[in-house]
Structure 1
Amino acid sequence: MTNRKTVTVFAATGVAGSACVEELLRQDLFDVQVLVRASGQQEKSSSGLLNAEDGKKKRWDDWQRRGVVVRSADVTDHASLIPALEGTDYLVSCVPLFATESQYPLIWAAKEAGVERFVPSEFGFIYDWEQFWPTDNAHKTAARQKVFIRKMIEMAGLDFTIIPAGLWIEYFMAEPVAVMGDGNTRFSWSTGRDVGRIIPHILAHPASRNAVCPVAATAYCTWNELLEIREGLLGRKVARNYLSNEDWKRIYAAAPDGPMKAILGIGVAATECPEGMALWANWNALHLPGFRGTPLETLFPEYIEPRVSELQGALG
């Protein structure tokens, strides 16, 4: 009988992180730990939506009752992080886009603590390619940083698993929906919850070691197909604008700095990527045929529509 690996999840109370922990518990293939920030440490959010401290405490208590080990550390300090990561085999980071830099101390501490594999927070495009696309924007800057983080992981002698997950549906459904291109290009679609759910399945697959695993955690379809399903559920037409790369660049240039500008940068990047590149690949269809994303008929009314309303309020 082989020893069970221990997976530690950082930023575990966000949408993806929470779903990851829950799926690890349901899957029951790994021992589970969560790494939490020392009390009072500020976290960052890509949307402006932050979990209340009391809500986090309730979640940590619930996980502990179910066998999860909760370890607290000053996540900016290597001396605090090293003992917190001891015993970890796989370290999974679910930090949001604007907290990407918080992973730097984790890499060094993981090396010192004997961690075997680091799964950095990617979950978007294939950044190795996006860093070379022609138009500079805030998201391309993040792409270059994520590529640098992967190089640091390799330099530290750690294994890695990179999980590009395409477009997160909840960020792009505010009306009028800004469609990337003519709506007929197939995209990998994910939600934060399904990204979290798929991570444990990817980790358990031998093909994920030192690999880039581009997934469609929720759906693999065109914009038009996705919006037609939404219209059928809403019983009305969904207002939409079809935007070319030139349109996206113009809108991006006019936008004020802030979270929305980075999201607009995703539109610039997506419309510069030709269909057929592995950016839109469906790794899970090949390696995880038993995994199913949340059905869109359930996802839209129960998660997407409420989430869109929350994000609109947070982004103003």
Structure 2
Amino acid sequence: MSRKTVTVFAATGSAGSACVEELLRQDVFNVQVLARAGGLQEKSSSGLLNSVDTKQQRWDDWRRRGVVVKQADVTDHASLIPALEGTDYLVSCVPLFATESQYPLIWAAKEAGVERFVPSEFGFIYEWEQFWPTDNAHKTAARQKAFIRRVIELAGLDFTIIPAGLWIEYFMPEPVAVMGDGNTKISWSSACDVGRIIPHVLAHPASRNAVCPVAATAYLTWNELLDARERILGRKVERVYLGHEDWLKAYDETPDGPMKAIVGIGVSATECPEGMPLWAHWNAMHLPAFKGTPLEQLFPEYIEPRVRELQAMLGAA
């Protein structure tokens, strides 16, 4: 049987890079990267963009290791269609506020004969969140992501949806705002582990036309995660416990921008209907051999530097 070809879009971000690296390590698929043509600006949910030189170095390294890098005007169907020809699975790793950049990809994927599209839904289970009572910036994104799935289906493409719960790096600035009492187990992921788990989900036969909610890094309560962080850092981690009304107040007081959408996650998470959990642990059943990055390594090497970047960005805003 010939190997499937996976093409990754937005491959130079944290999740996209980790996805490409894991595809190479896994050695199950042929690997391609869809690169934006020179001069095209990309959106970012964090405001942090890789430099052109950094991207070029990454593309050159991947080429040396067998990755096919295809450049295209990612806003133009005529450019995208030939770039996607030969692709079996198209994986999108665009950030939250670049969700709409996936529409031309879907049309071009249909025209190019792509079999399956993996949209960027690596957070909540948006099919549920879109119907919750309180409007906020994140719920708006949820509705759009749910609509994108409908567009994928309309195009006649298979899909794989990979919700990944809360991304640790966005919720660790202190005082850490805990959602609720902190005693309910939830799915935790980091960008590097989200990228790593995507190839494993794709390779599993149960992932076709399925929603596969994963805990890419850990399945823990807030309190268990923060207690682990304290042990690893050797200090107390300041935390505050916020209920739904507290999150609503914080949301109203947060200026428009990326942080407002992050606070909106707290609003949505704390009004999750009883008996309908936001998060799940699909990989525990279907990918038991997959292990997230150990917290002892993840916090000092990845999370804490990301937290400092986030705090610096917020301080400059």
Q: TM-score, normalised by structure 1?
A: 0.99
Q: Is the CA contact 1:73–1:81 (under 8 Å) kept in the aligned structure 2?
A: yes
CA contact (8 A) 2:269 2:278 kept: no
Secondary structure of the equivalent of 1:118?
A: strand
* Identical positions, percent: 83
> For residues 109-188 of structure 1, what are the structure 2 equivalents within 5 Å?
109-188=108-187
1:185, 1:275 within 8 Å by CA — same for their partners in 2? no
Q: Distance in 1 between matches of 2:133 and 2:38?
A: 42
Give the counterpart letter for 1:82 in structure 2.
I
Give the whole-Å Cα distance in 1 for the aligned partners of 2:207 and 2:276.
20
Paired residues of 2:32 and 2:70 also in contact (CA < 8 A): yes
Counterpart secondary structure, 1:188: strand
Alpha-carbon distance in 2 for matches of 1:136, 1:75: 31
Return closer, same or farther for 1:32/1:118 CA change in 2, 3 Å cut-off.
same
Partner of 1:62: 61
What is the alpha-carbon distance in structure 2 between the residues aligned to residue 293 and residue 221 of structure 1? 12
Residues 210-249 of structure 1 mapped to structure 2, 5 A cutoff: 210-249=209-248
Deviations 1:176-197 (A, max 9, x none): 0000001111110000000000
Counterpart residue number, 1:199: 198
Answering whether residue 16 of structure 2 is matched by residue 12 of structure 1, we say: no
Alpha-carbon spacing, 1:147–1:118, altered in 2? closer, same or farther (3 Å):
same
Q: Does the CA contact (< 8 Å) of 1:186 and 1:275 recur in 2?
A: no
Which deviations, in whole Å up to 9, do the C-alpha atoms of 1:234-282 show, x marking residues without a partner? Answer: 1111001100000000110111100000000000011111465352110
Aligned equivalents of 1:58, 1:185: Cα separation in 2: 43
* Contiguous gaps of at least 5 residues in structure 2: none
**SS state at 1:55 partner:** helix
Distance 1:44 1:4 in 2: 32
**What TM-score, normalized to structure 2?**
0.98
SS at match of 1:179: strand
SS in 1 for 2:178: strand
* Contact 1:8-1:32 within 8 A present in 2 as well: yes
Deviation at 1:32, TM superposition (A): 0.2
Is contact 1:214–1:279 with CA below 8 Å preserved after alignment?
no
Residues 20, 196 of structure 1: 8 Å contact kept: yes
Aligned residues: 315
Q: Secondary structure at the match of 2:91?
A: strand
Write out per-residue CA displacement over residues 208-259 of structure 1, whole angstroms, 9 at most, x where no aligned residue.
0000000000000100000000011111110011000000001101111000
Residues of 1 paired with 2:109 and 2:275: CA distance? 36
Residue 283 of structure 2 corresponds to residue 284 of structure 1: yes
- Given that 2:18 and 2:195 are in contact with CA atoms closer than 8 Å, whether structure 1 keeps it comes out as yes
Q: Paired residue for 1:43?
A: 42
CA deviation vs aligned residue, 1:26-52 (integer Å, no higher than 9, x gap): 000000000010101010111111111
AA at the equivalent of 1:70 = V
Q: Does 1:88 align with 2:102?
A: no
- 1:84 counterpart SS class: helix
State how far apart, in whole Å, the 2-side matches of 1:3 and 1:275 are: 46
1:315 counterpart residue number? 314
Query: CA 1:275–1:56 in structure 2 vs 1: closer, same or farther (change >3 Å)?
Result: farther
Q: In 2, distance between residues paired with 1:276 and 1:266?
A: 19
CA distance in 2, matches of 1:266, 1:199: 23
Measured in 2, the distance between the counterparts of 1:307 and 1:301 equals 10
Cα distance between partner residues in 2 of 1:259 and 1:65:
36
1:315, distance to aligned residue in structure 2 (A): 2.6
Residues in 2 aligned to 1:280 and 1:114: alpha-carbon distance in whole angstroms: 33
SS in 2 for 1:279: coil
Shift of 1:311: 1.3
Query: In structure 1, what is the Cα distance between the partners aligned to 2:288 and 2:266?
Result: 29
Superposed CA RMSD in Å reads: 0.8
CA distance in 1: counterparts of 2:178 and 2:225, whole angstroms: 11
Equivalent residues of 1:100, 1:121 under 8 A apart: yes
Structure 1 unaligned regions, length at least 5? none
